[in-house]
Amino acid sequence: AQKVTQAQTEISVVEKEDVTLDCVYETRDTTYYLFWYKQPPSGELVFLIRRNSFDEQNEISGRYSWNFQKSTSSFNFTITASQVVDSAVYFCALSLWGGSEKLVFGKGTKLTVNP
Amino acid sequence: DVKVTQSSRYLVKRTGEKVFLECVQDMDHENMFWYRQDPGLGLRLIYFSYDVKMKEKGDIPEGYSVSREKKERFSLILESTSTNQTSMYLCASSLSGVSTEAFFGQGTRLTVV
């Protein structure tokens, strides 16, 4: 069975601080996809990134960066120079290739960025 | 713009009522999903559908059923609501075949009193 663990329930930072959201996953499959979603107060989940299990290259998109390490089964998400608009609940998720494409979500990390 | 639309943002129902939650997507996606979101539990899959009239149970299907008569529409049915079904319900859709990202609706906050 697949499992995604986000150990940090809530994080609070001050604007301009860097913050890392942890994600650890479990699967016995060798081919899988990992995702991060953002859920702002409005409620709609917004897709941020998808990585497949064969691509361990780290990715940077503006202030966002992702660190994928198969050796530790982790897919961590860092926000550099955080802003108030980054306040949201962030979810890490896993799906299997060739399966039913169901997403298995972690329980989410609520990030609050204070001015 | 990609769009998944849920028919209601907020609903208040009495225990025992029958409730239909409607979801429509305009992206011609094969897959559609219903999730339930509760504090401390994250998102849990109730049902999903990979084609018209096809459905599979998710992790928590008890007390729910679904209907997919047309590709763009996926309905979640609560036959007889109970207070433990008070929750946020999220609909999503995705393309089939390559584990692409899912697109989500804005959610329906259901309160059962």
pLDDT in tens, B1-27: 668 999 999 999 999 999 999 999 999
Residue B27 and residue B105 in contact, taking contact as beta carbons nearer than 8 Å: no
Which residue from B42, B50, B102 is facing A100, i.e. has the nearest CB?
A: B50
Whether the per-residue pLDDT at B37 is higher than 60: the answer is yes
B5 close contact with A: CB closer than 8 A: no
**Contact list, B50 vs chain A (CB under 8 Å):** 100-101
Please report which confidence band the pLDDT of residue B99 belongs to, taking 50, 70 and 90 as the band edges: low
Compute the 3-state secondary structure of chain A and give helix, strand, coil in percent, each to the nearest 5. Answer: 5, 55, 40
Which residue from B43, B99, B105 is facing A33, i.e. has the nearest CB?
A: B99
The pLDDT of residue B1 is: 67
Q: Is A77 helix (H, G, I), strand (E, B) or coil?
A: strand
Indicate yes or no: CB of B94 within 8 angstroms of CB of A101. Answer: yes
**Contact list, B107 vs chain A (CB under 8 Å):** 43-44
The pLDDT of residue A58 is: 84
d(CA B3, CA B26): 6
Q: What are the residue ranges in chain A where pLDDT is below 70?
A: 97-101
The pLDDT of residue A98 is: 56
B77 close contact with A: CB closer than 8 A: no
Lookup: tokens for A20: 């890392």
Neighbours of A21 (CB within 10 A): 22
